Amino acid sequence: MSNWRKKNIVIENSQIKQISEKPIQGGEMIHVPENVYVSPGWIDLHTHAFPKFQPYCSHPDEIGYKTGVTTVVDAGSSGADTIHELYDIANECITNVLAFINISRIGLEVRNELANLDDISFEGINEACKKYPDFIVGMKARMSASVVGSNGIKPLESAREFSTRLHKPLMVHIGSAPPSLEDIVSLLKKGDIITHCFHEKEGNNIFYDGGILKPAVEAAMNRGVYLDVGHGTSSFSFHMARKAKEMDVFFDSISTDIYDQNRKYGPVYNMATTLTKFLALGYDLKEVIRSVTEVPANILHKPILGKLAPGKVADLTFFTIEQAETTLIDSVGNILVSPVRIKPYAVIIGGEYYECE
């Protein structure tokens, strides 16, 4: 990797103070081996980091610093009824935790949290956003048939209104219709996020069967709507990702949609495995790392994160690229073999050093 160079990074008061290629003296030193890369701390934009509700749950540190991820963003596991519990857990964690609050007050206590319109109200979300203005980074709506029941597009119309009133972006999960992908994306504005962008569920993905990008999706991307990977148990297909690459349809952020089940039994496992999949698809390491650092920091409006530069928060991820044949599996059972794999080595979060498992 030609322009990856040996660097010395000075950290003071939880911030990056100086980055130099020349030796630096003084203070407490941490040396890492020559083959270890450093990047800004990895940010996982779509996780389930609220341990309370089975099965879509994980402890933030299990999917966070132990796996090289310095910031996990909970994507709607909790709604207005329980967001204070998630906030309290977040405060006990080593990993930074942020949240997209579910527009349903009950969140993922059930699997069809948008089937009852009475669970969607502005008051609770407004109160939560006032109480936790930095912690809540946006709103989450899971817009697939099994979640919305007979309500169709209505939950997203409410979400649109809340988002506009509170100036917070929407993260919208796409899956099986109804509602149709066209109806969903037509409600999205600049700064909103489509997650599960490379799912392959029939009829409702970003391409027509013939392989053409749907004009409604293209128009949304041109308006500044972001595409997030959100791998998950059933939402990532190599076939779709490959098609996107062939057609120059670029995703913005790589996230996992991780929780205990897909972490332990696959196909997600962890962020490093998800990033390795994009190397195997032919993306270059710099693009892959940007998609888990600088880009999600921009999406989250957290300019203090995502870059190695003086004045930024001292969140760093150290990793190696191992030469080891690795079999990778997507959410529909397709296999890809990579000659290398990304392996987390350690992190620094707010200036503190932690080794990865």
Q: Which residues bind Zn ion (CB under 5 A)?
A: 75, 257
Do 167 and 188 form a contact (C-beta atoms < 8 A)?
Answer: no
CB of 175: closest distance to Zn ion in angstroms?
10
CB of 271: closest distance to Zn ion in angstroms?
14
CB of 192: closest distance to Zn ion in angstroms?
16
Question: Closer to Zn ion at the Cβ: 269 or 318?
Answer: 269
Task: Report residue 305 as tokens.
Answer: 């994160």
CB of 257: closest distance to Zn ion in angstroms?
4
Do 45 and 35 form a contact (C-beta atoms < 8 A)?
Answer: no
Do 289 and 307 form a contact (C-beta atoms < 8 A)?
Answer: no
CB of 77: closest distance to Zn ion in angstroms?
8
Question: Closer to Zn ion at the Cβ: 262 or 276?
Answer: 262
CB of 75: closest distance to Zn ion in angstroms?
5
Question: Closer to Zn ion at the Cβ: 11 or 137?
Answer: 137
Closest CA to 234 of 204, 266, 280, 208: 266
- CA–CA dist 80, 125 (Å, integer): 6
Question: Closer to Zn ion at the Cβ: 89 or 172?
Answer: 172
CB of 58: closest distance to Zn ion in angstroms?
11
Show contacts of 132-136: CB within 8 Å, 24+ apart: 132/83, 132/87, 132/99, 135/87, 135/90, 135/97, 135/98, 135/99, 136/83, 136/98, 136/99, 136/100, 136/101, 136/168
Q: Which residue is nearest to Zn ion (CB)?
A: 257
Question: Closer to Zn ion at the Cβ: 56 or 132?
Answer: 56
Question: Closer to Zn ion at the Cβ: 47 or 291?
Answer: 47
Question: Closer to Zn ion at the Cβ: 233 or 320?
Answer: 233
Question: Closer to Zn ion at the Cβ: 70 or 256?
Answer: 256
CB of 181: closest distance to Zn ion in angstroms?
17
Question: Closer to Zn ion at the Cβ: 198 or 318?
Answer: 198
Task: Report residue 307 as tokens.
Answer: 């870059």
Do 14 and 313 form a contact (C-beta atoms < 8 A)?
Answer: yes
Torsion angle, alpha carbons of 121, 122, 127, 133, to 10: 120
CB of 255: closest distance to Zn ion in angstroms?
9
